Structure 1
Amino acid sequence: MDKKLKLWDATMLVMGSMIGSGIFIVSSDMMRNLGSGYWLITVWVITGIMTVAAAISYGELSSMFPKAGGQYTYITEIFGKMTGFLYGWGLFTVIQTGTIAAVAMAFGKFTAYLVPALNDSAPLFQSGGFKITWIQILAICVIMLLTYINTKGLKNGKILQDLFTTSKILALVGIIIFGFILVKNSMWSENMNFGWNAFQDFGKEVGNDLVPTGWKSIGGITLLGGIAAAMVGSVFSSVAWENVTFVSGEIENPKKNVVKSMVLGTIVVMVLYMLVNFVYLHALDRDGIAFADKNRPAVAASEVIFGNIGTVIMAVLVMISTFGCINGLVLAGSRVFQTMAKDGLFFKSAIENNKNNVPGKSLWMQGTWACVLALSGQYGDLLDMISFVIVLFYMITVFGVIYLRIKKPDLERPYKTWLYPITPILYLFIGTAFCVLLVFFKPQYTWPGFILILLGVPVYLFINRNKKTD
């Protein structure tokens, strides 16, 4: 296959897939869970360490298995076809397609700031709680458009990705710079004055029921629950960097460039995220972040920075950001499903490349299912449920680095994990703490994701009913 993605393109794919709508939205819910600027920054630091540690660890696997499919390929090679299939199953049913749907809906909702008629018009269809709105139709059109563009060849998707990712990075840098220059009354001191003990008081104030009965008196444990609940948002905003591994087969010198793009891309994005949160804490008071209109602290901060035109500026930035993010997710995800089809674990028709040398049918299958999720309106609930599962699969993959070092120490490793074994162990420690705390404090975020993945077991057994399973 032609290698058409250079290091720059791969890095743009990492950053473009990460920066979607999350950073503009999730800090509201995080502040409601935490109640303090200190804790908000702390959670973003933890998430940043976790994300970069995973990217560094994945680098070793990407150098060992430099082919299309990425994380699916690593899991399959290390733990067998069934484990790999369960990851791919989760990726197709919710992780990739649900994220595409959610980001496309965010594109529609922020477009409504510029075209209020999108919000004001009556639903096209309504039956009980189910309705189809013009925003959903716009989201579906964007998914279909970007799917179509990507079927026309890798070059088109690459150009779009580079253009939109560069645009949104420059725009974010602009927001950060102007955020510090133009805000006259800084809220930083006030937000930091709440200190480390603000969590419980603010939690009671906003009615956070984070702790099961019987745990109420244990303040430290309660705080850990708040941190885990807040991390659902920061983790969601920081995933999808691994999408670059899905297209390893189309990257020049993948043994070196995949790991470089992952490490460089994740570090830059996490620094940008941190600085954007500094702007929120500088421009808005605690309630202004926690209770921003429609959970959009970015819009509230932009109005403080730029005045009335701030809403329009932020709406345009989020539209650029989400458009580029969807493109990255569409481009990368289809390569995994094509690789699964070659392994006999997905629809056979997804194997073929079209005349433009891209997996056209895989792209359309992914796009169609993402549209169904956008139409159903259930993508938000699904993503809440699946954040836990995404981290579990990250942990399985990072553990694979340690497992292979022990089981197959003689395998060629063109790149070795920096500070091994500290880096993968650090990720596994934070990831385990996050998952265990969520099981205790937010079980509704955990067991549905488990069930969804377990539903893949009978599907796998059905697909392999006439084969010898491994």
Structure 2
Amino acid sequence: MTQEKHHLQRSLGLIDATSIVAGSMIGSGIFIVTAAMARDVGSAAWLLVIWVVTGLLTMSAALSYGELAGMMPTAGGQFVYIQRAYGKLASFLYGWTVFTVIQTGVIAAVAVAFAKYSAVFLPVLDEKIFSVGDSFVFGYKQVLAMASIVLLTYINTKGVVKGKTIQLIFTLAKLVALFALIILGLYVGMKTNILSDNFKNMWEASKTVLNPDGSITVTKLTGIALLGAMGATIINSLFSSDAWNNVTFIAGEIKEPKKNIPRSLFLGTLIVTIIYLLANLAYLALLPMQGTPGANSALEGGIMFAAEDRVGAAAATMIMGNIGLFVMAGLIMVSTFGCNSGLVLAGGRLFYAMSKDGLFFKKAGELNNYDVPEKALWVQCVWACLLCISGRYGDLLTYATFASLLFYILTIYGIFILRKREPNAERPYKAFGYPIIPALYIVVTAAICVALLVYETTSTGLGLGIVALGIPVYYAVMKVKE
């Protein structure tokens, strides 16, 4: 059968698309990042405010993307939107950053998180195979992480139906488990005074720093200092809520995409926002905000100093005792494996769209006998595995966070550009609250970027550097094509 006879099959319905949105968002972050956020603001009320703002920002962005998805219901999603609004250079820089860091880096990080929690059941995974000084260690966890990426890639090369089945099963499993954890957590926690204690002086914010000698330094936060701290730490919750846009990458395989993509974006982000808020409320009902570094129990460590920042595990321990550690490890394994299933499935479609536009490896633009971009999926797999080996994926994610936010701003501003340039274009769905909601998103996210520039200058600079590196690569690609 010749290549021309293959095309992307529209076989994903609304439930499938929604499971990709929610499943791709929920990884390991919700079980970990609250600890760092608690240290940064030191207040239960401000902590919840940050999660509320995160949810509102995510939902407003998703509802804005719905307009672009309705206008351009084709594979590639955000890459296609940026190109239509700004041209090929801007879209290439987005695709370049997604390939080098964002998508593959997240896949690598999530895979390693899966392996890390697998080690709770298989301690042999903690053993190293070899090391080079203190800077590079290669162990069995990295082997398992790479194996999980290869397995998920292989499954997704066998057709979108197999990929969606894995995604749906794991998304439903982790949603049920999360709701069970939340309900049990609130039930157990409400029998104590911990929640009420956490909300005494709930608006008094402070930053807690753990010093090398084990002591802590607490600095009160008010005014601009508080806003700056919130702007810097919100990156934790935003990254935990990221990847919702992955569903736009697979627009070419969604039934009635002009209706189902906007709906799935709304439903998926709404579900995750509610879960994240309830999960943090459960944490606050089970664990005190403050705690003691290196404590011997989950209660003494509190949220701030949960062992290895594993707030979810500490909360589960408060509900079920020592067995809670194993229950939480199992939940995170399900969560991360399901999360990566969606990331792997979606990422290949973006690189497929880039290839069809002459901006990625030519072979990545081909479909196999199952009508999926197999070569694009394997290229993504290889790079993600290399990031697992390098051990530098965590740094890459940090560097890319700032750039990722900039691309969100750029894409949503594209709505204004296209409304003016193409006023008569078909828009089956229009951005909710336009122009106020999209404009508010741009202003608030831009303010967060400014805070990051001030408080995380090195990381943001390196993030911009990764994007800028794509400029000479773009012109080199264009020259080869001439």
**Matches of 2:479 and 2:396 in 1, distance apart?**
29
The yes-or-no answer on 1:176 pairing with 2:182 is yes
SS for the counterpart of 1:344 is coil
Deviation string, structure 1 residues 130-163 (Cα, Å, up to 9, x no partner)? 1101111110110010001111111110100000
Matched AA of 1:72: F
Task: Give, in angstroms, the shift of residue 308 of structure 1.
Answer: 1.3
Q: 1:59 aligned to 63, 66, 72, which one?
A: 66
The yes-or-no answer on 1:410 pairing with 2:424 is yes
Deviation string, structure 1 residues 243-291 (Cα, Å, up to 9, x no partner)? 0000000000000100000011001101100000001101001121111
The yes-or-no answer on 1:378 pairing with 2:392 is yes
SS for the counterpart of 1:263 is helix
More deviation, 198-207/95-104: 198-207
Matched AA of 2:32: I
Matched AA of 2:170: F
Structure 1 residues 190 and 255: alpha-carbon distance in aligned structure 2, compared to 1, 3 A threshold: same
Aligned 1:97-108 pairs, distance under 5 A: 97-108=104-115
Deviation string, structure 1 residues 98-154 (Cα, Å, up to 9, x no partner)? 0000000110111111222222x2x10101111101111110110010001111111
Task: Give, in angstroms, the shift of residue 195 of structure 1.
Answer: 2.2
Structure 1 residues 186 and 312: alpha-carbon distance in aligned structure 2, compared to 1, 3 A threshold: farther
Matched AA of 2:185: G
Matched AA of 1:145: L
Q: TM-score, normalised by structure 1?
A: 0.95
Deviation string, structure 1 residues 162-214 (Cα, Å, up to 9, x no partner)? 000000000000001100112342411221114222325779984489xxxxx
Query: Counterpart of 2:154?
Result: 148
Query: Counterpart of 1:393?
Result: 407
Q: 2:138 aligned to 125, 129, 132, which one?
A: 132
Checking the alignment, whether the CA contact within 8 Å between 1:20 and 1:325 is kept in structure 2 is yes
Q: 2:447 aligned to 433, 436, 454, which one?
A: 433
**Matches of 2:234 and 2:207 in 1, distance apart?**
17
Deviation string, structure 1 residues 342-399 (Cα, Å, up to 9, x no partner)? 1110000101111111111100000110000011111111111111111110110011
Query: Counterpart of 2:4?
Result: none
| RMSD of aligned Cα (Å) | 1.6
The yes-or-no answer on 1:343 pairing with 2:357 is yes
Q: TM-score, normalised by structure 2?
A: 0.93
Matched AA of 1:52: M
Aligned 1:277-356 pairs, distance under 5 A: 277-286=280-289, 287=291, 288-356=302-370
Checking the alignment, whether the CA contact within 8 Å between 1:32 and 1:206 is kept in structure 2 is no
Query: Counterpart of 2:3?
Result: none
Checking the alignment, whether the CA contact within 8 Å between 2:208 and 2:217 is kept in structure 1 is no
Matched AA of 2:264: S
Task: Give, in angstroms, the shift of residue 225 of structure 1.
Answer: 1.9
Query: Counterpart of 1:449?
Result: 463
SS for the counterpart of 1:47 is helix
The yes-or-no answer on 1:462 pairing with 2:476 is yes
Deviation string, structure 1 residues 63-103 (Cα, Å, up to 9, x no partner)? 00010000000001110000000000000000000000000
SS for the counterpart of 2:120 is helix
Matched AA of 1:225: G
Query: Counterpart of 1:196?
Result: 203
Query: Counterpart of 2:194?
Result: 187
Aligned 1:25-36 pairs, distance under 5 A: 25-36=32-43
**Matches of 1:53 and 1:186 in 2, distance apart?**
36
Checking the alignment, whether the CA contact within 8 Å between 2:316 and 2:325 is kept in structure 1 is yes
Query: Counterpart of 1:84?
Result: 91
Structure 1 residues 201 and 13: alpha-carbon distance in aligned structure 2, compared to 1, 3 A threshold: closer
Checking the alignment, whether the CA contact within 8 Å between 2:39 and 2:208 is kept in structure 1 is no
**Matches of 1:355 and 1:400 in 2, distance apart?**
36
Deviation string, structure 1 residues 29-81 (Cα, Å, up to 9, x no partner)? 11111101111101001111100000000000000001000000000111000
Query: Counterpart of 2:274?
Result: 271
Unpaired segments of 5 or more residues in structure 1? 210-215
Q: 2:9 aligned to 2, 6, 10, which one?
A: 2
SS for the counterpart of 2:137 is strand
Checking the alignment, whether the CA contact within 8 Å between 1:34 and 1:202 is kept in structure 2 is no
Aligned 1:29-48 pairs, distance under 5 A: 29-48=36-55
Higher helix share: 1
Checking the alignment, whether the CA contact within 8 Å between 1:62 and 1:259 is kept in structure 2 is yes
Structure 1 residues 280 and 414: alpha-carbon distance in aligned structure 2, compared to 1, 3 A threshold: same
Q: 1:359 aligned to 373, 388, 396, which one?
A: 373
Q: 1:250 aligned to 253, 262, 275, which one?
A: 253
**Would you identify which runs of 4 or more consecutive aligned residues in structure 1 move more than 6 Å?**
201-205
**Matches of 2:398 and 2:198 in 1, distance apart?**
28
Task: Give, in angstroms, the shift of residue 219 of structure 1.
Answer: 3.6
Unpaired segments of 5 or more residues in structure 2? 1-7, 292-301
Matched AA of 2:166: L
